[in-house]
Structure 1
Amino acid sequence: MDFPVVEFPWLGNGTVIAIIAIIHVIISHGVAIGATTLMVSMEYTGIKNQNEGLISLARKFSKWVLIITTTVGAITGVGIWFSTTVIQPDSIGSLLRIFFWAWFAEWIVFITEVVLLLVYFYTWDKWTGAKRYIHNRIGWALVFFGWLTAAIITGVLAAKLTPGKWTETLSFWNAFFNPTYLPSLAFRTFIAIVLAIALVSVFIKFFVKDRDLQSDVFKLFGKINLVALPLLLLSGVWYLYKIPAEAYDLIVWSTGMSKKMFDWINIAGLLVFIIFGLWMILKSNKVPFILAIAVFFSSIGFIAEFEMVRESVRKPFIIYDYMYANGILEKDAELYNKEGYLTHSTFAKVKEVTDDNKYEAGEELYKGQCLACHTIDGWRDTRAFANRLDGWTEETIDMYIGQLNEARPFMPPFVGTEEERQALAHFLFKVTEEVNNDSNQAKGADE
């Protein structure tokens, strides 16, 4: 532990980051890129076909794009920075060292995006008639800079799973243009558009009362979806082809579903998208509200699943082949096994295991090597030790920790001396016993 530890005991540290990240991805992809593309496309089609209804709807759209991206989008973006910095400082610190100039460039691009959005929103009345195309070109510039923000961030995110030659060369360019950069960028581009269509369609059905205008909007969305959805599927296959085999094997496991359930849910969700896409093209004037609702929730489910899978399939690493999920560098494991983990842990209150401090030493080891993914008690039974280790003896826990990554290859190996391993087993046994005894007493009192 080179940094102070922050713990969210019941919810779990990973869950906190996941909640913020999922909301941010929905906004950054579905609104900042996808909905902006739809908005500018509506304006362009309206100008081209002299359809004032589409232009007016695009104008209303711009208000909500501005509000959502500069409030929820900005807050959750900062929220990701804050949460990852305090929860996974080793990881975010490494990424900052590798990608400092990329992140610096991304902030400049983001500021440009915000300026263009403000200009776009506040100049609807400036260019009228034949000059409307000037306003629309500003919109397309806005779309490009929104996409460029994602293009930069994708290089950082993709490198966590496939750093490629960076582990050998330590070159920024090897890290940024890593093996999954292009497929990941393509996938995120088309998922942003498909997601936006799914999210926006509900509001079109609910708030646009003019049936002819509804039909015009869905006809446009159908044409865009006809291109975006197949390319989304192709880029998704491309992405899966490029990830490590070990990561591919963890996809179903990372969702917490059985293989059968995983297949059925994803096939059903895909069918909903296909049916919706065809319906918009063939019957744009009669798109059912229930179908729009189904696509809306399916899209949110897909995004949540994608983010969960993307984060989980890297295990046992957080930066593949470089840093384990608990922040320990792979190259330091041998040294810590020889000299001790606590000795090299800056913020550990205990530096050496003795008979008198075995519990305290075990707690420090839990904070440094388990806390990133596990809780003592909490809502996720599969990651809460009070549930997982209930009924285990201290000796069984000790033995299991010793062969942890062999029994479960997706978990980082325990790093430390034999005495430290025994201390961790002692702490987990005692704290599990305490939590379950308290829980049983509470149940008895209720009965």
Structure 2
Amino acid sequence: MNYPVWELFTFSGGFWIATIAIVHVFVAHFAIGGGLFLVLTEMKGYRENNPGILEYTKKHAKFFMLLTLVFGAVTGVGIWFAISLVSPGATSMLIHTFVYFWAIEWVFFMAEIIAIFVYYYTFGSMERRKHLLMGWLYFIFAWLSLFVINGIIAFMLSPGQWLETGNVWHAFFNPTFWPALFFRTFIALMLAGLYGFVTASWIRDADLREQMIRYCAKWLLAPFVFMLISGYWYLQSVPEGAQAMILGRSPEIVPFFQAFIWLSVVIVIGGLIISIRMPGSIKRPITIIFLMIGLLYMGSFEWIREAGRRPHVIYEHMYSSSIPVEMEQEINEKGMLKMARWTEHDQVTSENKLEAGRDLYNIQCSACHSRGGFMNDIIPVTEKFGQFGMDSMLDGMGHVYDYMPRFMGTREERQALAAFIVQEIQGKEPEKPRTVDVPEFDFDIPPFDPDEDEYVLMAWNTLGLKCITDCDDYWSMLPPGNTIFAQLVRRDFMPEIVTQGVELTFRPEEGFENPANHVSYWDNSQSLAGRELPENISAKGLGMQGEMTLNEDLWTFVADGIPVVPYSDDGSINPYPFFYIEARDKDSGELLAETKVVAPVSAEMGCNNCHGGDWRVDGKMGIAAETASDVLKNHDRRHDTSLMPRAEAGEPVLCQSCHADPLLNAPGDPDILNLPAALHGFHVHYLSDREGAEACNACHPSDPDLYTDCKRGVHATRVDLDCTSCHGTLEDHALTLLKGEYEAGKTKQASRHMSLIEPRLVDSTEEINPRIPWEQQPDCLTCHQDFQQPESDQVSAFNVWNEEVDELYRMRTDYMGLMCQSCHGATHAEYPAENKFGQDRDNVQPLQYQGEPYAIGANNNCSVCHTMEMDYEAHHPNMLSGTRNR
């Protein structure tokens, strides 16, 4: 950020550095091992009195000199040229830190040049002992050159104590210095044999050719075991974070690590095959191919070593974007553009947003990413993102998966960079606010005669809204399965909750009888539910109509697992279809009471905001194939699973088969995070610092401007509370779930996420109260103390959870056995609710029994159930004075 940027497109800086460096290192290591190869091979020729070996050695020396000094020197200069343009900050730092070590290395290099020139041009004319001495001097200077450069290169991966002391000797003799030196020395000896194969294969004398090739094979194979031993030592000396990166934290490194392992096997087998006697015309192309394999071998190692430093170019000191680690906080506070020296703009405005985004891209992205090129092409990896998704990706970049630097700068700068990538690089139009047309569906209020009717039948959905993931050909997280509760009350001076001698049934409104026509859950039930399910029957064995079951503990009839979906046979989408509930005398079949209630269900899960694709159905809701497959591909890449191949083979997976989830009573794998903790604990990193419920609305069908808007109750429509008022911001919400898992013993996984999350509603993570998802929720009495109205609208129920499941609002009863939701309405749809699909669609029973949409019994309307005027608060305190919501 303190130097001008070399703006590259197709060929990124990383491409040039990798290409030049790998070729140079391949030759430079030969320059070391090959020096020892020359002098020992010459000694072999003298010892065996074999002129052919000496002649071969002289020719090999010419090849060696031209390759290592001419080509090697040019590529060495090329490395300096490339790194100084692509990463000038790191280059400057290495020069200034190791200035005297560089001077020493250049002295050794000059001595190498002189020694090899003298060695080659005096071959056969200088006295034998002196000529061998020149060979030994060359090898010693070459190895000393490696000694110095190894210290500097190893420093970039493991600075060690230098980070605290700044002592150059701590920097040079860093934790990986010695294992890296031994490893590279043995690699150099192996390459001497590998290059020797090439020159030896051109010897015309067949017997001498085979003799020298087998001699070269010893150079290749003998150091191999020592190379593996020192390689293991090297890996164990690497800093813990870099070691984890190499061993799989970065999925991009895995193929190179695997390649290094397999190429090790290939090299051993290849060395043995080349040793077999065969004509030179066959052996020569084989040796050339084998030399190329050696280049790949060296390249895979160098890629692993370089990538192991991620996201740094100098581990824990300077990011790959050449930004010092110590400046990150200041940049986030002041802004990147204000602190960078070579940018056209110093702040983001509405007029310069894209140009400022270009400046930010050049500083933070261009060092590694190409645009349409061969290496780290940014076009395919950002193709799926719109503006929101790209901004979210930048927000979470470098947090959980820390092989890329975190975005540095203000939120406005992050959005500018996102706009540049989406609009300029991807060529997409700016995103417009999504608007949807929401139809109002007509409905009737069931009849009720307060003078004649003997029974009151109340019914409700327990969750307020049941979400489903309708991408069942790929995976399922929320299969169909709505729950309706109902209580039947016999009206009297002392009303009675009726549980015996009656039968309660349920059935959907017309058009919703066949959910299997609209989702593929039943086509995949064997894989998702573990057994073949009849069409329109849920995993809990419930169909779209039938008899409700009595829960004797709650004095409530239950239909648990109705597989309703929001899609009607007439092509409409209605997240709030009605179910008709009837209560009949069990013996006579006489209709005692009837009502209807919405069974809220939505597939408007916002996965496509970040995973690409559009809505599956009519541009309004549903998870499309493109979106669902991207979720699986990311999971496979990050967690080494095979979910996408399984889906393609017709075996989609239920998320809860691995992740525990109390909602489905799924035990899951006890060693991994439960589903709510995993989902919120991961996605919070990409949706941090959002205002209000913006992060919630990105994933859940809770946005009032979109189609479903599950928040219909009085808390949202009259008091103007949002998700964060009860559940906390996404950061706080995620921490409650992760801390619950931490205390359940999943310390490693939970703490990794928790360490990266800053709470917003409390001062520290220590103040967060852990909870079990679905079983512990905000407690109504936190705000409604003693069942009274809160003193202020600015209230928060966050961080106070019920202790027992029966204390949940959806499970709680009053003093007389009536469930709270029977009178006050479902979660997220508390009376009086407002539903955009019909103003009073959620208020059917209050309107049916008392002619107004308020809580049952509001305005002292006890006559709904009591046949006499009541003057005492039998159900809960303050009910006669506090229950009204006009």
* Counterpart Cα distance in 2 of 1:276 and 1:224: 13
The alpha-carbon deviation at position 50 of structure 1 amounts to: 1.1
**Aligned residue number for residue 161 of structure 2:** 165
Task: Give the SS at the match of 2:313.
Answer: strand
Structure-2 change in CA distance of 1:11 and 1:426 (3 Å): same
CA contact (8 A) 2:217 2:271 kept: yes
* Counterpart Cα distance in 2 of 1:415 and 1:339: 10
Q: Does 1:14 align with 2:17?
A: no
**Aligned residue number for residue 440 of structure 1:** none
Structure-2 change in CA distance of 1:268 and 1:415 (3 Å): closer
> What amino acid is the match of 1:422?
Q
* Counterpart Cα distance in 2 of 1:103 and 1:399: 43
* Counterpart Cα distance in 2 of 1:44 and 1:286: 27
Show the 5 A alignment for 1:266-281: 266-278=260-272
CA contact (8 A) 2:155 2:171 kept: yes
CA contact (8 A) 2:371 2:378 kept: yes
**Aligned residue number for residue 422 of structure 1:** 415
Show the 5 A alignment for 1:198-217: 198-205=194-201, 207-217=202-212
The alpha-carbon deviation at position 432 of structure 1 amounts to: 2.9
The alpha-carbon deviation at position 426 of structure 1 amounts to: 1.4
Task: Give the SS at the match of 1:50.
Answer: coil
> What amino acid is the match of 1:238?
W
Structure-2 change in CA distance of 1:171 and 1:267 (3 Å): closer
CA contact (8 A) 2:190 2:221 kept: no
Q: Does 1:362 align with 2:361?
A: no
Task: Give the SS at the match of 1:249.
Answer: helix
Structure-2 change in CA distance of 1:200 and 1:252 (3 Å): farther
**Aligned residue number for residue 340 of structure 1:** 335
**Aligned residue number for residue 326 of structure 1:** 321
Query: CA offsets, 1:391-425, max 9 Å, x none?
Result: 32212211221121124211111111121111111
CA contact (8 A) 1:216 1:284 kept: no
Q: Does 1:186 align with 2:182?
A: yes
What is the TM-score of this pair, normalised by structure 2?
Answer: 0.46
Structure-2 change in CA distance of 1:110 and 1:246 (3 Å): same
Show the 5 A alignment for 1:44-443: 44-127=43-126, 131-205=127-201, 207-251=202-246, 256=252, 263=258, 265-278=259-272, 289=283, 292-293=287-288, 295-380=290-375, 383-434=376-427
> CA-atom RMSD, angstroms?
2.4
Task: Give the SS at the match of 2:427.
Answer: helix
Query: CA offsets, 1:55-85, max 9 Å, x none?
Result: 1111112212222222211111111011100
The alpha-carbon deviation at position 275 of structure 1 amounts to: 2.9
The structure that is helix-richer by fraction is 1
Query: CA offsets, 1:75-122, max 9 Å, x none?
Result: 111110111001100010111111111101111110011011111112
Larger RCO, structures 1/2 (Cα 8 Å, 6+ apart): 1
* Counterpart Cα distance in 1 of 2:85 and 2:157: 21
Structure-2 change in CA distance of 1:212 and 1:150 (3 Å): same
**Aligned residue number for residue 25 of structure 1:** 25
Task: Give the SS at the match of 1:399.
Answer: helix
Structure-2 change in CA distance of 1:168 and 1:216 (3 Å): same
CA contact (8 A) 2:14 2:368 kept: yes
* Counterpart Cα distance in 2 of 1:229 and 1:378: 36
The alpha-carbon deviation at position 212 of structure 1 amounts to: 2.4
The alpha-carbon deviation at position 274 of structure 1 amounts to: 2.2
CA contact (8 A) 1:13 1:371 kept: yes
The alignment covers a number of residue pairs equal to 427
Unaligned runs of 5+ in 1: 438-447
CA contact (8 A) 1:255 1:305 kept: no
Query: CA offsets, 1:141-174, max 9 Å, x none?
Result: 1111111111110111000010000001101100
What is the TM-score of this pair, normalised by structure 1?
Answer: 0.89
Q: Does 1:37 align with 2:30?
A: no
The structure that is strand-richer by fraction is 2
The alpha-carbon deviation at position 219 of structure 1 amounts to: 3.9
Structure-2 change in CA distance of 1:302 and 1:375 (3 Å): same
* Counterpart Cα distance in 2 of 1:343 and 1:356: 17
CA contact (8 A) 1:316 1:412 kept: yes
Query: CA offsets, 1:368-394, max 9 Å, x none?
Result: 1111111333234xx323222223221
| Identity rate, percent | 34
The alpha-carbon deviation at position 286 of structure 1 amounts to: 8.6
* Counterpart Cα distance in 2 of 1:320 and 1:342: 25
* Counterpart Cα distance in 1 of 2:262 and 2:378: 34
CA contact (8 A) 1:276 1:291 kept: no
The alpha-carbon deviation at position 293 of structure 1 amounts to: 4.7
CA contact (8 A) 1:162 1:244 kept: yes
* Counterpart Cα distance in 2 of 1:435 and 1:67: 52
CA contact (8 A) 1:160 1:318 kept: yes
* Counterpart Cα distance in 2 of 1:294 and 1:358: 51
Structure-2 change in CA distance of 1:66 and 1:297 (3 Å): closer
* Counterpart Cα distance in 1 of 2:71 and 2:424: 39
Query: CA offsets, 1:280-338, max 9 Å, x none?
Result: 78x67899727645532321111111111111110011101110110111111111111
Unaligned runs of 5+ in 2: 431-886
